[in-house]
Every structure is written in C-alpha cells, then in structure tokens.
Amino acid sequence: MWGRLAWVVLGLGWGAAARGAEPEVVVFSPHSTDIRRETGWAFSAWHRAHYGGPAVVRWRDCGGGTSQILRFIRSEYGGRVGGIGVDVMYGGGVDPFLELKEARLLARWNPVPGTLEGVPGSIGGVPMYDSDHEWFAAALSGFGIVSNRRVFGLLGLPEVRTWVDLADPRLAGWVGAADPRQSGTALAVFEIILQAYGFERGWAIIAAICGNSRAFLHTAALPTKDCALGEVACAMSVDIYGWSNVARLGSENMAFVLPEGVTVINPDGIAILRDPPHPQLASRFLEFVLSRPGQLLWMLPHGVPGGSMGHDINRMSVMPDLYGELRGVTPVRVNPFTQQQTFRYDPAKGMRRRRILAGVLGAVFIDLHPLVRRAWREIQGSPRRGELVAEYCVPIVSEEELFRLGDGDWNERGARQALINRWQREAGAKWRRIEREARER
C-alpha cells in the first residue's frame, strides 16, 4: 500500500520533501489536473521499466492557462541568460509553439529512431511536427460545442451544431465562454471562426456570441462545467472536456459536436525549452509522450492495461493506426484522420496575430461585457433591428490593421496600452450609442 501511495505523491510533484532526491523533469502545462496526474504516474512507471531507475514530473503552475504560461516564459527568458529552470512546454495547441520557436526559445530534439514512423507530416494543412524538430504533436485536439440537452429542452430551442448557432439571440445569457487572454482554447476558437468565415463575417459571429455569453471565465474547463451544471445551455469547448462530460453524464443529458467543415483538428504540441536544467530527462519525457505507451494512455479507458489509472483522458492520438486497432475499446468517437475538412486553417496567420487578437477582443468585448450584453439585448426589440445589428457587427479594427499593428506597435508596451485604451473608448461609445438608439421607438 505504501508503494502505491508514494508513487501518487511523486507523480503529482507535491513538495520538495515528498520528491526527495528523485530525478525530475520540470514541465509547464495547461493540461487539467487529471491529465497531469495520469501522465506523471505513467511516465514514472515507463522510465523505471525502460531506464531502470526512478524519475518524476514536477508540474510548474503559473496560475493560468496557455496564454499566462506564454507570458511567463517570454518574460523570464527576457530577463536572464540561459534557462529558466523549466524543461518542457506541454500542451496548448500549436500556435504557442510556433510563437516560442520564432522567439528562439525552443531546443532541438532528435527523436529516437522510429518515433515518427506512421505519423503524418500534417493534418488539415497544419504541420504535425516542426521541420527543425523543435516541437512535436503530442496529441490532437478538436474544437467544438458542448450542450446541455435538458436545458435546451426547457428553452424549447434546437441544439446548436455550428458556430453560427451560438449567435442566435434567443441564447442570450445561455452561452458559456472563456477569456481568450487567459485561455488558449478560447483564443483558438475565435481564430478558427475568423478563418473559417472570413474576417468581417467571423467578427460579426464573434460579436453576437459575446452578446449572448453569460460571462468570460479564466480557463476553458470552467464554461464546460457550467454547461454540465445547467448554468448555461452550451459552451465553446475542446474535445477532451466535451467528451468527458458526455461520458460522465450520459448522451441523453449532454452532447458534444465538432462543427462540420468549420473547425480544426489541431496538433497539441510538446517541446523542450531552451537551456533545460535536466536535458536527459526532458528528452526521455518527450520519448515517452510520443511512444506507443504514451499514445495509448490518451485513448484507452481507465482500468484497461496500458490505460489511465483513475480517469479516462479521451484524447485523440497522433498515431492513425490506433483508431482501427482500438475501435470498440476507446471512448474516443472520432477518427481525425478520416474527418472531412472544407477549409484549411493557416497556423502562420493565427500565430502572427495571436497576442494582438486576444488584446483587441479583450478590450472591445470582455472588459466591456455588461455594455455589450445590454446593447445586444436592446437591439432585438428595436424596429431598427436590422440596421443596428449591422452596426453592432462592424469590426472595431480591420484585419489589415491587426497585422500591421502586430508587426509593430503591439510589441512596445506603451503603444500597446495606448491602443487598448483607444479601443475601449471607441467600443464603449459604440455600445452606449447602439443601446440608446435601440431604446428609441
């Protein structure tokens, strides 16, 4: 019994006293506690079996999601020579890894021969691994919508199937969302909408979704929890949260969909950071995650040999052959390699405007959310509804200006804050004017 308890403590990385002198790899990750716990246990067991000695994962916490971790990494490297005491960045999609590579904050890793055999070079136009071997897809993520079927039944509305459905004004106050400045998942969804529908129509859809949103929460997991509790009817969600709620609460109560033709199966990356403090264990951690045992951990249900110990993870593997091999065994219901995609996501475009897009959405919609909700609500009952909806949906900034600012002024702190202040003033005046005009009968 003590042996099992000791591995639990070590896998979680609780406290220096608990870790003792065990060799460790230090990892940044926006993954959930369950994923980190299961990965820690599995890596420790795998390392002992393959290398004949102990090793543990110590998870570093920045107090936020992917965006917060990225800000911390950039800030820490900016203020010192050498490393920052962290070995690996694990999870958060693909855009963060493109950004880290551009900033020269990643280290090259040469995979063990055979590691990438059978892994396609890309999926839906998005690379599965870096050509210079600085980052790799550790898993695949699908971005979609989770729904509470009981709440939809009470509302008397059809369930949502695509992003445009979230813009239905009848869902005002019933849509769950996360703050894209804090959540990489939320930012990825908004970027997908802009690319799938084009910038102007995509902005209009985002504006309506923001008008319908109940609140903007700090992590991607929280809106999904609110949906499961019935606090909202639906929420933008990554597949792992959506499928886990369907599995836990039953398909008669919850649903999760990947909007057909207008979503992205996105690599979820892993990389060694520049000048890692434990380079050998960092290399072995990547070796484990990309190995067959590491990939089986994603897809096998808990209790099955090779699967997780306590919680189903329900994530899509990067190994196409596993989908046929595990059919009928894995809880993962989608084979991403056979999904039809009608648009090709451009990761370079997403990376180029990642930080500035989060900033403008935060300034225009999230920081002013009470004004946004009131304007959106008042529009619906106005005899000038069509005219005011069109005005409401006009972007506060053009796509061309976003790119121009992202390549220049956004990188200077004073100029960046001045832009945020200007957008907030302009947007605040716009929302108040629309609300006032909508009330004029």
What is the predicted pLDDT for the residue at 441? 67
What is the predicted pLDDT for the residue at 265? 86
What is the predicted pLDDT for the residue at 168? 97
What is the predicted pLDDT for the residue at 220? 85
Could you tell me if 149 and 252 are in contact, meaning their C-beta atoms sit under 8 angstroms apart?
yes
* Cα distance between residue 339 and residue 333, in whole Å: 12
The token pair that represents 421 in the structure block? 């202040």
Collapsed DSSP state (helix, strand, coil) of residue 321: helix
Could you tell me if 357 and 165 are in contact, meaning their C-beta atoms sit under 8 angstroms apart?
no
CA 217 to chain centre: 13
Per the DSSP assignment, residues forming a β-bridge with 257 are 145
What is the predicted pLDDT for the residue at 92? 87
Could you tell me if 329 and 303 are in contact, meaning their C-beta atoms sit under 8 angstroms apart?
no
Q: Which of 356, 408, 426 is nearest to 181 (CA)?
A: 356
What is the predicted pLDDT for the residue at 301? 87
The residues of the chain scoring below 50 in pLDDT are 1-19
What is the predicted pLDDT for the residue at 421? 95
Q: Which of 213, 169, 207 is nearest to 385 (CA)?
A: 169
Q: What is the β-pairing status of strands 265-273 and 136-148?
A: antiparallel
What is the predicted pLDDT for the residue at 312? 82
Number of helices (H) and strands (E), helices first, in the chain? 19, 12
What is the predicted pLDDT for the residue at 65? 79
* Cα distance between residue 8 and residue 5, in whole Å: 5
Q: Can you list the domains of the chain with their CATH numbers?
A: 2-139+265-325 (3.40.190.10), 141-263+346-439 (3.40.190.10)
Tens-digit pLDDT profile for residues 318-342? 999 999 999 989 888 789 998 777 7
* Cα distance between residue 384 and residue 433, in whole Å: 13
Scanning the structure block, which residue is given the tokens 């993962």? 332
